[in-house]
Structure 1
Amino acid sequence: MVSPEIIAVREKTLAAHLEGESRKDVDAVLATFSGVPRYELMSVDKVIDGRDEVRKFLQLFFDSMGPNEHIGEAFYHSPSATAVEVLTVFPHGFDGNQTGQVIKVRSVGVFTFDGEKMLAEKLYADVTPLVPFMPWLTDA
């Protein structure tokens, strides 16, 4: 069981993480990790590990997309992780150039924790529709 105090801290951290992603603020997102940050993109079997690599990934990711908002819709807590159902809304298409074409992408992020310290994000999303905009997603 996870205490209400730990849940509150985790959800505050996750809100800051999602807000940083929405603002495309690499430093804000990095600040939500404790220790060595790590992303695992499960649908393309890609792991990004370490502060420099995660920084590079985030900057490339943010530069590839237009304005967006990441909305945490539901949170599920376990002793070692919090799963978050996320709705990402691109109000002008993925790359921001399709005015009036709203794109919505649903995903689940499984954020691993050591108590209240966030260690990593495992992203479960079908990113294949995004590959034309970000071909580097499938690079080894």
Structure 2
Amino acid sequence: MPDLAERRIQTVRDHMHRETVYDWDGVIDTFAGHPRYEMATGQVFDGEEAVRGYFAASRSVFPDQGNEIIAIAHTGNTVLVEFWLTGTHLGEMRLPDRVVPATGRKLRMRMAASFEFAEGSDRILVERPYYDQAAVARSIGIDL
């Protein structure tokens, strides 16, 4: 049986892959019973209904959203991942001051995320993605 660090890394790999194939039930199953995303913006999606709402909203803007893992590491009760976020801007993007129609431009942006685990568990407690919102806008041709 793989050690706990290996199982946690595999859980994160499975989680990220399931996000790219829209296997939302599978993504939810990687959590320790209560899914939670804490975004770099300060937004929190807490519980299954909120997390599924986040998936629906983000995929309406980038319906082909994907990720490509660059590096992955385990430390303490955390798995850290660096990855490329990819997608095509095919849906309206809501900004604080306006709604931006689809540009059709490709997104490829370097990001990082941390995945926190309970002591002794290989199920995720919370995912915390980190990214530069302005870089997302710039990469698809939107001036802020």
The aligned amino acid for 2:107 is I
| TM-score under structure 2 length normalisation | 0.75
CA contact (8 A) 1:73 1:86 kept: yes
1:31 alignment partner in structure 2:
29
Any gaps of 5 or more consecutive residues in structure 1? 132-140
Query: What's the Cα RMSD here?
Result: 2.3
Residue number among 14, 17, 24 corresponding to 1:16 in the alignment: 14
Quick check: 1:105 aligned with 2:101? no
Which amino acid is the alignment partner of residue 7 of structure 1? Answer: A
Q: Which has the larger share of helix?
A: 1
Do 1:26 and 1:59's aligned partners in 2 also have CA atoms closer than 8 Å? no
| Higher Rg | 2
Q: What's the offset of the Cα at 1:74?
A: 0.8
Q: TM-score, normalised by structure 1?
A: 0.77
Please identify runs of 4+ aligned residues in structure 1 that moved more than 2 A.
93-99, 127-131
Identity over aligned pairs, percent = 27
Match of 2:73 among 48, 73, 76: 76
- Counterparts of 1:106 and 1:127, CA distance in 2: 12
Q: Deviations over 1:44-93 (max 9, x none)?
A: 11111111111111122222213132112111211121110011222xx3
Provide structure 2 residue ranges, at least 5 long, that are not aligned to the other structure.
92-101, 138-144
- Give the Cα–Cα distance (whole angstroms) in 1 for the partners of residues 136 and 109 of structure 2: 10
* 8 Å contact kept, 1:65–1:94: yes
Q: Please name the residue that 2:45 is paired with.
A: 48
Question: In the alignment, does 2:58 pair up with 1:61?
Answer: yes
Structure 1 Cα separation of the partners of residues 27 and 115 of structure 2: 13
